[in-house]
């Protein structure tokens, strides 16, 4: 008897399976109450036209400004790739680790080598549990020798960091600080920032930081972002006091560049192969399953949480095997243009019409003139060029009720303005690992 959660999709490696029931878009109203936090930019997002939101890190998160009848998410995409945009990303809570043992502690909880992150720089990193599962994938900033900020994705990392140190007793303070970022993304972002804070911003390297001021407000600016476009993040200190000052200063400076306030551009981050924690991966996901092997160093001498298990997994791969049944892949697929967030994990079938996997992040790529997606499939179906089928909802299906053709594709789908370490390594024909 067929179970509605599709047992033919192998989730035996998970303790908690993903819910694969196809329930579609559900017409419910989001309750706004005090148990979920409003960021200091929330009212400014509403003034800018935000008409829908989700929750992220227990903070309300704007996810739409342009109404569907006016072009919706694809109009926002056009602003991102052709001009410049501002995003309210205060949901990226800033967890500070500060003290004499800050570097040693951070080196113990991340997989990469924290000692290689010099003050005034940052890195994209992951933190894993003892099973090698990814707990978070923040941008890690190092504003000072004895200070790190975890700009976190959607999980309660602060509690875990504090719990780790209960037993380890490093000489550090671990807490959330009143710092909230906005992202400035798009090809004109550098010109906007130069107008806002001066020409020195043009010298910030990728993942570099500068401390400066916007209208007298102390900020840190990094060249980072959740896209493959040129972009920056402005980390506003004492954000609950100064939110309006910085937000309005960006709006004013951005007028001549056609600045538009938009939601985080998932369509662009998918094309860049950037993952979304909780959507594409979680604490039951190994970095080796989701193209993050470069985050597991081969030469990090220091111990770190998850090291023994991750090295065991790498040894299996080095020996020609793969220690998991499922793997994330990129997909190109047919159907009508997918122009909004998917409400379910759409099912993937193999050439025998057996449901074997699921899509996590789909969207339309105007540049490639096709739908693209990230999804989970069995390892035997993960080779580039493998033909598959995807069951789309009727709004996107070419023929209602009939699956569309799909093919496993290379990730990223498009080159990034600032190629990641993974992309650089791939261009040189090698597997990157520090």
Task: Give pTM, 2 decimals.
Answer: 0.95
Nearest to 325 by CA among 279, 357, 354, 348: 357
Both structure tokens of 409: 């594709």
Q: Which residue has tokens 């959660």?
A: 5
Task: Give Dmax over CA atoms of the chain in angstroms.
Answer: 66
Q: What pLDDT was estimated at residue 317?
A: 97
The CB density around residue 210, as the number of other CB atoms within 10 Å, is 18
pLDDT tens, residue by residue, 263-272: 999 999 999 9
Average pLDDT over every residue of 95-105: 98
28: exposed, middle or buried (Cβ count in 10 Å: 0-12, 13-18, 19+): exposed
How far, in Å, are 88, 124, 289, 367, 411 from residue 209 at the CA level?
Answer: 19, 13, 31, 31, 28
Spatial separation of the C-alpha atoms in residues 201 and 325, rounded to whole Å: 46
Torsion, Cα 377 379 383 386, to 10 degrees, reads: -50
Nearest to 101 by CA among 157, 168, 152, 159: 168
Torsion, Cα 145 146 149 150, to 10 degrees, reads: 100
Residues in a beta bridge with 333: 371, 406
**Res. 242: pLDDT tops 60:** yes
Angle, helix 157-168 to helix 102-109, in steps of 10 degrees: 110
Q: What pLDDT was estimated at residue 416?
A: 80
Both structure tokens of 419: 């190629």
Q: Find the helix or strand (DSSP H, E) in which 96 lies.
A: strand 94-98
The CB density around residue 410, as the number of other CB atoms within 10 Å, is 12
**Res. 2: pLDDT tops 90:** no
Spatial separation of the C-alpha atoms in residues 78 and 60, rounded to whole Å: 25
Higher per-residue pLDDT: 50 or 421: 50
The CB density around residue 191, as the number of other CB atoms within 10 Å, is 17
Q: What pLDDT was estimated at residue 427?
A: 61
Q: What angle do CA 233, 122, 62 make, to 5 degrees?
A: 30
Give, as one character, the DSSP assignment of residue 277: B
Q: Residues 427, 419: contact at Cβ < 8 Å?
A: yes
Spatial separation of the C-alpha atoms in residues 409 and 305, rounded to whole Å: 33
Both structure tokens of 112: 């990469």
**Distance between alpha carbon 108 and the CA centroid of its chain, in Å?**
23
Reported as a pLDDT band with limits 50, 70 and 90, residue 433 is very low
The CB density around residue 249, as the number of other CB atoms within 10 Å, is 18
Q: What pLDDT was estimated at residue 420?
A: 59
Handedness of CA 255, 258, 262, 268 (dihedral sign): negative
106: preceding bond cis by omega (within 30 degrees): no
Percent of the chain topping pLDDT 90: 92
Q: Residues 374, 36: contact at Cβ < 8 Å?
A: no
Q: Residues 23, 5: contact at Cβ < 8 Å?
A: no
Lowest mean pLDDT among 27-41, 140-154, 367-381, 407-421: 407-421
pLDDT tens, residue by residue, 39-70: 999 999 999 999 999 999 999 999 999 999 99
Q: What angle do CA 409, 413, 414 make, to 5 degrees?
A: 155
**Res. 421: pLDDT tops 60:** no
Which domains, from first to last, does the chain contain? 179-258 (3.30.1360.120), 271-427 (3.30.1360.120)
Q: What pLDDT was estimated at residue 417?
A: 76
Q: What pLDDT was estimated at residue 7?
A: 86
Radius of gyration of the chain (CA): 21
Nearest to 160 by CA among 138, 189, 128, 187: 128
Q: What pLDDT was estimated at residue 1?
A: 40
């Amino acid at each position: 008897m067929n179970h509605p959660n599709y047992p033919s999709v192998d989730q035996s490696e998970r303790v908690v399976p993903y819910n694969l029931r196809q329930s579609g878009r559900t017409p419910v109203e989001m309750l706004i109450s005090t148990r979920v936090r409003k960021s200091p930019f929330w009212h400014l997002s509403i003034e800018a036209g935000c008409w829908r939101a989700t929750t992220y890190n227990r903070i309300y998160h704007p996810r739409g400004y342009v109404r569907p009848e006016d072009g919706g998410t694809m109009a926002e995409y056009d602003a991102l790739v052709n001009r410049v945009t501002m995003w309210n990303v205060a949901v990226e809570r800033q967890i500070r680790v500060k003290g004499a043992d800050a570097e040693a502690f951070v080196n113990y909880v991340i997989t990469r080598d924290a000692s290689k992150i010099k003050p005034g720089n940052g890195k994209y990193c992951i933190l894993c549990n003892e099973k090698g599962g990814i707990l978070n994938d923040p941008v890690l900033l190092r504003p000072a020798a004895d200070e790190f900020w975890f700009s976190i994705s959607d999980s309660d990392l602060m509690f875990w960091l504090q719990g780790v140190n209960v037993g380890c007793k490093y000489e550090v303070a671990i807490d959330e600080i009143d710092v909230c970022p906005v992202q400035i993304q798009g090809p004109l972002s550098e010109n906007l920032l130069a107008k806002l804070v001066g020409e020195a911003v043009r010298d910030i390297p990728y993942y570099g930081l500068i401390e400066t001021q916007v209208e007298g407000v102390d900020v840190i600016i990094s060249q980072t972002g959740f896209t493959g476009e040129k972009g920056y993040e402005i980390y506003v200190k004492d954000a609950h006091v100064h939110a309006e000052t910085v937000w309005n200063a960006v709006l004013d400076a951005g007028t001549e560049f056609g600045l538009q306030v938009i939601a985080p551009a998932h369509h662009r981050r998918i094309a860049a192969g950037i993952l979304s924690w909780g959507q594409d991966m979680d604490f039951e996901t190994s970095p080796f399953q989701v193209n993050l092997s470069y985050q597991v160093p081969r030469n990090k001498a220091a111990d770190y949480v998850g090291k023994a298990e991750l090295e065991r997994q790498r040894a299996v791969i080095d020996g020609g095997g793969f220690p998991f049944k499922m793997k994330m892949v990129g997909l190109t697929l047919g159907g009508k243009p997918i122009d909004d967030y998917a409400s379910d994990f759409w099912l993937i079938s193999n050439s025998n019409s057996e449901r074997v996997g699921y899509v996590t992040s789909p969207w339309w790529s105007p540049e490639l003139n096709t739908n693209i997606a990230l999804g989970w499939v069995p390892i035997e179906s993960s080779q580039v060029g493998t033909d598959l089928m995807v069951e789309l909802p009727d709004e996107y299906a070419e023929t209602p009720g009939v699956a569309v053709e799909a093919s496993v594709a290379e990730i990223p789908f498009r080159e990034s303005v600032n190629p990641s370490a993974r992309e650089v390594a791939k261009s040189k024909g090698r597997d990157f690992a520090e």
